[in-house]
Structure 1
Amino acid sequence: MQYPCSWRTVLCALLRIVLCASLYSASAVAENYVLAHNTVKVDNRNKLGERLQASIEAPTEAPTETIDVHGYQVNSIGQSLSASQGYVNQVEIDSRPLLRTGEILEFVPGMVVTQHSGSGKANQYFLRGFNLDHGTDFSTAIDGMPVNMRTHGHGQGYTDLNFIIPELISSIQYRKGSYYADIGDFSSAGAAEFSVLDQYAKPEVSLTLGEYQYQRLFSAGSVKLNDTQLLVGGEQQYYAGPWQDMDEDIRKTNLLMRISKQQENESFSFTAMLYNNRWNAADQIPARAVEQGLIDQYGSLDTDLGGKSKRYSISANWQKGDWSASAYWIQSELNLFSNFTYFLDNPQRGDEFKQVDKRQIWGAEIHASEYFNWLNTPVTLTSGAQTRFDNIQQVGLYQTENKVPFNTLKEDSVDELSMGLWSQLAAELNRDFRLTLGARYDYFALQVENQSPQDSGSENDGLLSLKANLSYQFNDNLEFYLSSGEGYHSNDARGATLQQDAVDILVSSLGSELGFRWFNNENLNISAALWLLELDSELLFVGDAGNTEASRPSKRYGFEFSGYYWFAKHWNIDLELAWSKARYADVQLDEGRYIDGALPFVASTGVNYASKNGWQAAVRYRYFAPRALESYKQVKASSTQNINASLGYQWQQYALKLEVLNLLDSQDHDIEYYYASQLANEASPVEDVHYHPLEPRSIRVTASYQF
């Protein structure tokens, strides 16, 4: 992408300001430390995990505010960097009925979470005109540990959330856009971070039973040992699914143990997590197979698909005053069998293939803040360092028949190291204006060992990203934001060492946003943003095919609106709308301008009721519009609508909850693609729509007991 001169000039000037401020603070910090701590009010939401947001005001003018958090009912005016960030707490998470764990990301306004295969693998995600695949341009983390997988066997940025236990999540913080210096890889569209509970209110055990043999056992509890909390929780799940020709046979186990310690000015936590899963997969099916009566829409052309997945991790987090540090270790494994084209490539033995990914990940982060006065302006300078090392013992693609490999298409071992340095300066220019400037530098080094020596080798690359945010607080209830920043995602390391059609390691983006937030301090919270995002020419490694595929420069823009209204003491309603337009930026004679799968419109709304006498209810509606399935928009996907509902009652230690998923039994499709495949009775390939249906209406009942 060729940035306009004015953009580059402004961004470079902002970087110089950040660096100058850093040098100034080093000499002035000792002299101004006491003064700064008497005049600086640190953002209350730092305690909730948004480390870079600081509200700096003199106590005589604005005393420190205590925030009572009720779901989205958070007044972050004077604290947010942009209009497109937010916070969701445990109360809101517990109130929403979910078909799959991955749908927890739909708390991000405008995000759509779908599935094209078995429930054991990562979901498909859509946001801001992106078909994010399994997470390529949206960064996800939990307690400082990354979820996105680099150089993964099934797709770059692979984001599998099945290891998360929703009841043990204390909050979700989301930040859309690329305007935040502490977020690096996979952040062009935005990021979300999950935080784990330190303690569970009361020991609990619950059993959920539902249609299609859905069974889930959950238990959690915590105990205090002197000044230390011990939290233990786990779930066991089985699900056969509604599929006619196969039993999905999901057998999922999740365990979590957390030790935490809180003191007046210091906190520490140590968390261990274990996840095991196996399943059979009902993949997407060609529309013509249903039209010809070969299968039902809940049928399968290949019943020999599925996978196994494991994820073990340990992590530690420490915070003391203005210093924070974290470290983690992750072991991950995936064995996945798929067949999307049936008999197109191999008419005799079929197109079934196996993808393997086995790795260990080590990583750490440290950051600190300094507070000082610069030219009579209160300033916060936050700087940090991050590192991550992926030791991928095996990442491979194999042709199989009846799950038995007969040909190796690609097999590699990869070492991938990244290091990031970032700094962000927040200045309260006066009572109304706040300016935040940021910069980060990322360095990647990788080593690939391929079965073909010519495709082995080492590569490295670095990237400087600049950020800027300006906010104007019109009054205590209304604030405007102007944000801009560069982001990036890494490409698959295997594509960077190819002798032919090699890809760049890092692909940059530039995003901007204009928005506002209005909160009336009682019952209404509104935010809206107009955004723009440009991407460089992207060359991505395609794990399903084992080669590289070039895409073109692109531009996206859109408008988002979020509103949350508490119209009675126990009732609230929300409305989230997102429009986007995504097009390739260049013109090619043999290609159109439309980007496959980009959603032009997404809407969701919900009504929630929670009373002190034990009753709780929720109804949620989601809609996403038709979209182009190929670059000329001659083939479009149909729209999708879905409604989920729940009703619960708690009496003393007992609770009962009823969930109805796909309340109106919609026959819409969860996801659609357009590509060529060949059935067993066909002599040549046929281009067709392939889809995965919404699961039919199902009822689940949960009984809980608190000790």
Structure 2
Amino acid sequence: MYVRRVRLVHSCLQLAVFASPVLLSAQASHAQAITAQGNMVAIDSNPAKMAKTLQRVSVIGHYDNAVGTSNAASQGIILGSLLQDLPLLRPGEVLEAIPGMVVTQHSGDGKANQYFLRGYNLDHGTDFATGVDGVPVNMPTNAHGQGYSDLNFVIPELVQQIDYRKGTYFAENGDFSAAGSADIYYRNSLLAPFAQVTVGSYDYRRALIAGSFPVFPNRSDAAATSASAGPILLAAVDGLEENGPWRLPEGMRKLNILLRLTDGDATNGWSIDGIAYQAHWNSTDQVPLALIQSGQLCRFCALDPTDGGDSTRDILSGEWHTHDAAGYTKVMAYLEHYQLQLFSDFTFFELRPATGDQFEQEEARNILGTKLAHGWAHNLFDHDSTTEAGLQIRRDYIHVGLFDTEARVPFQTVNDNLVGETEAGLYIENTTEWNEWFRTLAGMREDIVQMNLTSLSLAQNSGSASASRTSPKLSLIFGPWHDTEFFINAGDGFHSNDARGVIYKIDPTTGGPASPVPPLVGAFGEEAGIRTDAIPDLQSSLALWHLNTASELIYNADSDIGSTTPNGASTRYGVEWNNHLMLNNWLLLDADLAYTHARYTHENENGLSGDYIPNAVPKVASIGLTVHDVDGWSGDIKLRYIGAYPLSQDDALVGPSSLVTNLRVQRQLSPRMSLSLDVLNIFDRKYYDISYEQDYRVSTTAPVVPAGITVHPGEPREFRFTLRLNL
């Protein structure tokens, strides 16, 4: 849809009709306009400018990131068309469309992915906040890791767009957003119902059926031609089975159901979503690299054949929004039930030679939350201005525990807790256009967290804690001049810590005194950037950024509260250069490059020598070439490079670089039928999704390896065929 003007306009009209209310936010683009045969269609997210003539903005390719649509060089919108072109190994890889983001896996495919951005090993989402249709995905005080963000329930084919923001500069973003955030929005309707079936290597089988329908199909012509033709129901069922290349069959089984009822448009409307998801899998966790290199263990073998997990997620959410010349209002609420059960073994026989070191991380969680935002247009010193005030409240009721197990049979409780955690954020943000070439975005955010913990296993560890934090934000935007804008951004952010680490008085593993951590950990970021459309058909942006974090959360294989534990303060800086070029009306090139320098600020703060941050990836590159609709053929080839990264704080151990290339070829067989082929890791390169420095002992008779390397191999070449039929 990005290669011809007619298709471009059609796509953007869909965006105008079906986009999420996020487009109404003062943080979204202050004006977007699409020209079709001399006619202008506009979406204006700044009520103060609704009565003014909007500047023409072109939308090119996969990204809606033209000059005048962002408040930072590292902010942007990814159109759903990109996800239709990309060959994806896993659903969570939709986030790899964000420039500089890397998505991998260190365990079974039902588990949350590993995310890497701006020199953060975000583990499973600690410093990157993710939401789906306004519902936050990150889980505080999660059984496995703080901020755990499982995106396996996302259906890529239904994504309308992804709005991403890097850095700490936006008042709307609170917990877990120090490195950035992404909001995924589903479509409200489809052009036609469809069914597709995918089969592939290693017993991969997937079926998806989806369609949208008017709730009142027999409405009168007058109603049908009104601003809203009435409620539309979108329904989808997504089922998957696969075993993967692992010697221990993964046995991944997933069922995902989505019901979405909507009415209205981006100006006035509402939606109600229902999601039901469940998954079961066996895991091949990371294994010692030395065993693979010596031939004692095959590349895709497991040391513990009983690792694995189960996960369920049920969500009911609703939102309502209205927008007029005076301002806008957005209201949403959500209710979620979530369960997770993980069996893992990373150290094998180091801690408990008699039984092995497998442990179970388990939780059952109910979440209730709401988000309110109101914006109003006004004059500030005779300049057009919009102010938005918002309130976000979330309450988690959590039963979370850690248990020692053997072959998935628990025999000892390490900790078992009932946790109530409330997070509340209040923010205000002002956007003012001081003249034609200068605007500001200034905000303030106040966050409060309150934690109550009842320990069912050790009464002395029961207690409560609370904290608050104020986070100012400021962005200065200059231009455009010659289709070029300049940005200066700064702001405070934070992540919360696990309630167990905050409240515990006794370490349940050692029996000694615990070392408590603060409930909230601050971060300060700043950025200078440029975005330009000066070269025809090229969108290009450059960002220079710096970020300080008061406490680093790092991966810890034998942690007694999960897989992330606090470490010392850190500092990062880097550069990102993103380019999206439409070479002609059927050929598109995306090239994104990122470099990061990440260090601890105080050497030996944790008793270790060196200031390197383990698993902080310094170099990332993504290059994609897309061919669209050439005599019914389309295709996409994407290369992803990850540079070598430190595994130990002294940089004595280094994780190897990786280079992976994926290919998708599509053929339109008829107006209703298409066939596509995905070739993942087309050159069958041997690489590792993740490497760690880690203590381990591979058998009861083997010596303990105090600082070894464990790895999770990347998957070999795979083929997947998809037949899609429009119904």
Do the structures match in fold with TM over 0.5? yes
- The Cα of 1:682 is off from its aligned counterpart by 3.9
Change in CA separation of 1:613 and 1:318 when aligned onto 2, cut-off 3 Å: farther
Distance, in Å, in 2 between the alignment partners of 1:669 and 1:543 is 18
Distance, in Å, in 2 between the alignment partners of 1:545 and 1:277 is 25
Match of 1:478 in 2: 484
**Correspondence 1:597 to 2:622:** no
The one-letter amino acid of 2:409's match is: V
The one-letter amino acid of 1:478's match is: T
- The Cα of 1:370 is off from its aligned counterpart by 1.1
The one-letter amino acid of 2:27's match is: L
Match of 1:48 in 2: 23
Which residue, out of 650, 671, 689, partners 2:709? 689
Aligned residues of 2:65 and 2:76 also touching (Cα < 8 A):
no
**SS of the residue 2:150 aligns to:** coil
Change in CA separation of 1:270 and 1:594 when aligned onto 2, cut-off 3 Å: same
Change in CA separation of 1:271 and 1:51 when aligned onto 2, cut-off 3 Å: farther
Deviations 1:13-56 (A, max 9, x none): xxxxxxxxxxxxxxxxxxxxxxxxxxxxxxx9976365424356
Match of 2:682 in 1: 663
Identity %, equivalent residues: 37
Aligned residues of 1:503 and 1:539 also touching (Cα < 8 A):
no
Change in CA separation of 1:68 and 1:233 when aligned onto 2, cut-off 3 Å: farther
**Correspondence 1:234 to 2:237:** yes
Q: Select between 612-621 and 203-212 the one with higher mean Cα deviation.
A: 612-621
1:206-355 to structure 2, matched below 5 A, reads 206-226=196-216, 227-244=230-247, 246-262=248-264, 265-321=267-323, 322-355=328-361
Aligned residues of 1:447 and 1:457 also touching (Cα < 8 A):
yes
- The Cα of 1:98 is off from its aligned counterpart by 0.3
Match of 1:636 in 2: 654
Which residue, out of 565, 590, 593, partners 1:574? 590
**SS of the residue 2:474 aligns to:** strand
Deviations 1:242-264 (A, max 9, x none): 112x1101000000001000169
Q: Which runs of 5+ in 2 are unaligned?
A: 1-18, 32-45, 217-229, 506-513
- The Cα of 1:683 is off from its aligned counterpart by 3.8
**Correspondence 1:702 to 2:722:** yes
The one-letter amino acid of 1:655's match is: S
- The Cα of 1:285 is off from its aligned counterpart by 0.8
Match of 2:571 in 1: 555
Q: Select between 593-602 and 513-522 the one with higher mean Cα deviation.
A: 513-522
Which residue, out of 419, 423, 426, partners 1:421? 426
The one-letter amino acid of 1:387's match is: I
Which residue, out of 635, 648, 653, partners 2:666? 648
Aligned residues of 1:503 and 1:540 also touching (Cα < 8 A):
no
Aligned residues of 1:178 and 1:487 also touching (Cα < 8 A):
yes
Aligned residues of 2:23 and 2:266 also touching (Cα < 8 A):
no
**Correspondence 1:616 to 2:634:** yes
Distance, in Å, in 1 between the alignment partners of 2:483 and 2:265 is 34
Aligned residues of 2:26 and 2:431 also touching (Cα < 8 A):
no
- The Cα of 1:58 is off from its aligned counterpart by 8.7
Change in CA separation of 1:422 and 1:632 when aligned onto 2, cut-off 3 Å: same
- The Cα of 1:62 is off from its aligned counterpart by 6.3
The one-letter amino acid of 2:359's match is: F
The one-letter amino acid of 2:528's match is: L
Aligned residues of 1:46 and 1:52 also touching (Cα < 8 A):
no
Change in CA separation of 1:369 and 1:76 when aligned onto 2, cut-off 3 Å: farther
Match of 1:31 in 2: none
- The Cα of 1:291 is off from its aligned counterpart by 2.8
**SS of the residue 1:611 aligns to:** strand
Q: TM-score, normalised by structure 1?
A: 0.91
- The Cα of 1:684 is off from its aligned counterpart by 2.5
1:104-115 to structure 2, matched below 5 A, reads 104-115=94-105
Deviations 1:74-128 (A, max 9, x none): 3542231110011111111111000011111101110111111100000111000
Distance, in Å, in 1 between the alignment partners of 2:345 and 2:334 is 35
Aligned residues of 2:60 and 2:539 also touching (Cα < 8 A):
no
Distance, in Å, in 2 between the alignment partners of 1:110 and 1:674 is 24
Change in CA separation of 1:584 and 1:618 when aligned onto 2, cut-off 3 Å: same
Distance, in Å, in 2 between the alignment partners of 1:616 and 1:310 is 36
The one-letter amino acid of 1:676's match is: D
1:364-375 to structure 2, matched below 5 A, reads 364-375=370-381
Aligned residues of 1:270 and 1:314 also touching (Cα < 8 A):
yes
Q: Select between 51-60 and 640-649 the one with higher mean Cα deviation.
A: 51-60
Change in CA separation of 1:49 and 1:213 when aligned onto 2, cut-off 3 Å: farther
**Correspondence 1:149 to 2:165:** no
Distance, in Å, in 1 between the alignment partners of 2:112 and 2:691 is 16
Change in CA separation of 1:68 and 1:325 when aligned onto 2, cut-off 3 Å: farther
Deviations 1:295-326 (A, max 9, x none): 11111111111011000001101101101111
The one-letter amino acid of 2:710's match is: H
Change in CA separation of 1:273 and 1:49 when aligned onto 2, cut-off 3 Å: farther
- The Cα of 1:161 is off from its aligned counterpart by 0.3
**SS of the residue 2:684 aligns to:** coil
Deviations 1:429-481 (A, max 9, x none): 11111111100000111100112111111111100000000010042510000
Distance, in Å, in 2 between the alignment partners of 1:501 and 1:59 is 53
Distance, in Å, in 2 between the alignment partners of 1:290 and 1:59 is 62
Deviations 1:647-703 (A, max 9, x none): 001221011001100000010111100111001154431131100111010101001
Which residue, out of 146, 161, 170, partners 1:171? 161
**SS of the residue 2:572 aligns to:** strand
- The Cα of 1:337 is off from its aligned counterpart by 0.5
Distance, in Å, in 2 between the alignment partners of 1:584 and 1:348 is 38
Change in CA separation of 1:633 and 1:531 when aligned onto 2, cut-off 3 Å: same
**SS of the residue 2:140 aligns to:** coil
Change in CA separation of 1:179 and 1:299 when aligned onto 2, cut-off 3 Å: same
Aligned residues of 2:490 and 2:525 also touching (Cα < 8 A):
yes
Match of 2:413 in 1: 408
Match of 1:9 in 2: none
The one-letter amino acid of 1:700's match is: R
- The Cα of 1:286 is off from its aligned counterpart by 0.1
Alignment RMSD, CA only?
2.0
Q: Which runs of 5+ in 1 are unaligned?
A: 1-43
Which residue, out of 548, 552, 555, partners 1:534? 548
The one-letter amino acid of 2:673's match is: Y
Q: Select between 61-70 and 162-171 the one with higher mean Cα deviation.
A: 61-70
Match of 2:537 in 1: 523
- The Cα of 1:216 is off from its aligned counterpart by 0.2
Change in CA separation of 1:206 and 1:49 when aligned onto 2, cut-off 3 Å: farther
**SS of the residue 2:351 aligns to:** coil
Aligned residues of 1:254 and 1:275 also touching (Cα < 8 A):
yes
Match of 1:40 in 2: none
